[in-house]
Chains A and B, each alone.
Chain A
Amino acid sequence: MLQLLDITKDYDNKPLLRGISFSVAANETVCLLGASGSGKSTLLRIIAGLEPPEQGTVRWEGQDLTAMPAHLRNFGLVFQDYALFPHLSVFENVAFGLKMQNLTGTVVERRAREAMTQVNLSGFEGRRVTELSGGEQQRVALARALAPRPRLLMFDEPLGALDRALRDRLQDELRGILHATGIPAIYVTHDQEEAFAIADRVLLLHEGRIVRDGSPSEVWNEPGSAWEARFLGLGNVIEGVVSLKVGRSKVETPVGVFGLGCGHAHQAGEKVELLLRPSGVRLAADGNLHGVVADVLFHQDAFKVTLENGLYFYLPEAPQVGEEIRLCVLQSGIRCLTSPT
């Protein structure tokens, strides 16, 4: 439905977006994940029509929207910190978009109430938005965006200002509402957990480009580069050199020698980066990795053990700090991050 073709944008005369192309299908929730300052919000503003791109087009079902002003696009946007109208009541905020469509009073009334029920805000109609809590304001912002039945919904870090527990709850509600309404959505965040929890598809934005496009499980299980693995916090990223031993590729690293389980055809002597997943190890006397324990931290249902060489793993029992341990890295816990050149 929505199609972006080769969008570029400069910021302070430096390239911010360097050719972004992707599309969003019906009923699909796409998460745009990237570090702060990577241009995520700018991309949303370009789609919304609040800012023009330097190059590229925004299309909706084949129609070029680039020249269409924001108020004619019928795209909804939930702003970071919500941007609620402080001079209007909760109901008037929600009804704003409906009034702009010149609907009759009864229709406005009915549909605004519908939207408010959808986000569990019934009974808040006459309240001032300035006296609401953060979570309530978030719901008003969502209802305001939903009420005019937009063709596309966009979210700019909508849960950023809320505490952990509230975020988790609103995430679930949001996902429920998006599925119930079937409105395609673009969700921008820098928090990977939030992205994985809400998205049908995850896009990773890095240095002005989309470096990864896939389902949450694909992105999680098959990181394509060292940057992805680091940014998503998938585990330890180490460097090593490929060596061929008895026809099998091995990687020699400062912390041990590991098998190379990827389908890539690496040459001997090539430098590669490996991901060692923190859960992909077990304690073993003949393990291929050893180190002195620097820190032990209780972490949910395991212990996070950090070694003096900087690597960390999740182990079922806690070793002593200062103890030297040997670990066997399972083949499933290793992933090669370097494609052959």
Chain B
Amino acid sequence: MDQGVDGDGVAVSQRVGESESQRVDESASQRSAESLIRRIAPWLGVSIFLGLFFFYPLARILWLGLNPASLSGLGISSLRFTFDVLLFTFYQAFLSTLLTLLIGLPAAYLFARFVFRGKSLLRLLTAIPFMLPTVVVAAGFNALLGPRGWVNLGLMKLFGLEAAPIVFVYTLWAILLAHVFYNTTIVIRVVGNALAHLDPRLEQAARLLGADARRTFWRVTLPLLRPSILAAVLLVFLFDFTSFGVILLLGGPRFATLEVEIYMQAIQIFNLPLAAVLSFIQLLCTLAFSILYSRIVTRVAVTTAPRSAASNLRRARIWREKLFVGGVVVLLLTLFLLPMLSLPLRSIARLESARGERTSVTYGLTGDYYRELFVNRLGSLFYVPPFKALTNSLSYAALTVILSLALGFPVASALTRPGRLERFLDPFLMLPLGASAVTLGLGFIITFNRPLIAGHGSLITSPLLVPLAHTIIALPFVIRSLQPALASIPVRLRQAAATLGASPLRIWFMVDWPIVSRATLAAAIFAFTVSLGEFGATSLVSRPEYPTLPIAIYRFLSQPGGLNYGQAMAMATILMGVTGLGILLIERFRLPGAGEF
């Protein structure tokens, strides 16, 4: 019986095969044209979007920056100036990276080798800053060490001082500390992963061959970690090199990196050619670092032995280990918890007299700073109450989510079956990662200050530019988090569903969607948080009458007065809360293993 059915089945499928091949012969050209269209279709939206809003503005910058006519107008003083800016950019990035290593390496060792209570919580704590908006970080350090921060006000009250004793904000130290705060997690992840996956027997072999603990570390452990340390260094350096918000908000007017200077030249001095030159230099440097980085990353993969991480972990036993674990834990808690705690606490604390009431000062909890957010004060820098900035940010973020998902989804699914076209276009999708946000903003200014189509208004006055810029920044991440989820669906699962009688539409809802939905949610939240906290591009393209939350925080922070300061704290706290929630949700929804550096 069974054999008969089998035989029939084979015969049927052969017949189908024949007729199909005949049909192919008849309309081969028509079919190949159809499949070409089907292949290209998912790329249409992204290509037009990135072409118009990324590659074209980039080309405009290059044209302006390399144009002999605009270059000749710059003169020798600009050259000198550019050189100084470049030097400082390298200098601060070098110092920041060094400090980050100094804290990150012991921390990486701690997480890779020791088990202790609260470990996963501490790891999460060190990872949060990486995704926090720069304005929040700046506000956090301000709340801790700024002239109106906890430490200074405390010392002033304690010793009856007239002025803040600690000058932290607008110094190089503020820049360095904020960079360490941001990037330590990179060292922990990259070096810590390599260390955790290092074959423990290599160190044991060294011990048996007569090497003591010190020599084992220098001769075996460290050389094996070198590629991963180098990778982490380059990544940290890249982030420090292109850092913008931290330098502008915590460094103040005295310090200018390439990134900050592009902004200054474009927005305040309106010297677009010089800004374009700086942008060009910035792009070249970023490109060089990225190429170096990708070369090193391939080496990291070769040297780490795929071993289970568990065998490397131990509890601190001897007093030296206990001292190490305790010391690093306290250091990390101080570095990461204090700025993040002092910000929300400062936003509800009344620590100094308001204007006009010098004599009677009431200390205590207050909700004033939050209440003020809804008030449009006369003489305030805004035409709108700060609360409007929050609703602006939320609607921009929603637009960014919709745009980046709509553009990213087709491309991500096309990339799961990579053909020649996909392999060729894939690197172009990731290019926006290499351009800094400020460069993107500058490109928008240069490109859209004239009408795209003659006779229409120019885009520069449109608040729409902000979500467009945010989409370009979020898109690579969205694609990279959707792609593995889409690729993880085995074809056989769909085929099994089909043999069980499911229609294509039902297959999508019953098989694809349940698997993809989590990743989609994670990507959406990611795009949302990126948009909410974005400062670099926004600071160049946002309109004064449509400020986003980060822009409002920046403006309030640079205004004098306790009330402005308090409102900045309140807004930063809201932003931190929403972003923190987003980070937690992403951690919950993302695929395990996806979305690493």
Which residues of A pack against B, CB within 8 Å?
45, 48-50, 69-77, 79, 81, 83-87, 96-97, 100-101, 130, 144-145, 148
Contact = CB atoms under 8 A, between A and B. Distances in A.
Interface string B293-319: 000000000110100000000000000
9 A-B pairs with the lowest CB-CB distances in the bound complex, closest first: A97-B209, A100-B210, A83-B201, A70-B207, A87-B223, A83-B205, A71-B207, A100-B211, A77-B208
Contacts of A70: 204, 207-208
A338 B202 CA distance: 46
B210 A74 contact: yes
A81 B201 CA distance: 10
A85 B208 CA distance: 13
Contact of A48 (B208, B212, B215, B224): B208
B398 interface: no
Contact of B302 (A69, A79, A130): A130
Contacts of B305: 86
18 contacts: A71-B207, A71-B209, A71-B212, A72-B210, A73-B208, A76-B209, A77-B205, A79-B201, A81-B201, A83-B199, A83-B201, A86-B202, A86-B302, A87-B220, A96-B211, A97-B209, A100-B211, A144-B209
Contacts of B216: 71
Contacts of A87: 220, 223-224, 226, 303
Given A100-B215, A130-B302, A85 B202 contact: yes
A72 B211 CA distance: 8
A92 to B, nearest CB: 10
Contacts of A72: 210
B394 to A, nearest CB: 51
Given A85-B202, A86-B303, A87-B303, A96 B224 contact: no
A283 B555 CA distance: 103
Nearest to B202: A83
Contacts of A71: 206-212, 216
Interface of B: 199, 201-202, 204-212, 215-216, 219-220, 223-224, 226, 302-303, 305
Nearest to A75: B208
A87 B224 CA distance: 6
A95 B55 CA distance: 55
Contacts of A84: 205
Nearest to B210: A100
B225 to A, nearest CB: 10
A76 B210 CA distance: 9
B204 A50 contact: yes
B242 to A, nearest CB: 32
Contacts of B210: 71-72, 74, 97, 100-101, 148
Contacts of A100: 206, 209-211, 215
A83 B204 contact: yes
A86 B299 CA distance: 12
B224 A76 contact: no
A87 B305 CA distance: 12
A255 to B, nearest CB: 41
Contacts of A83: 199, 201-202, 204-205
Contacts of B303: 86-87
Contacts of A148: 209-210
Contact of A50 (B207, B209, B215): B207
Given A45-B204, A50-B204, A79-B201, 19 more contacts: A48-B204, A48-B208, A49-B207, A71-B209, A71-B212, A71-B216, A74-B210, A75-B208, A79-B205, A81-B201, A85-B202, A85-B220, A85-B224, A86-B202, A86-B302, A86-B305, A97-B209, A101-B210, A145-B208
Contacts of A69: 207, 212
B202 A76 contact: no
Contacts of A85: 202, 205-206, 220, 224
Contacts of B205: 77, 79, 83-85, 144
Nearest to B224: A87
Contact of B208 (A76, A81, A86, A101): A76
A86 B207 CA distance: 16
A163 to B, nearest CB: 22
A71 B209 CA distance: 6
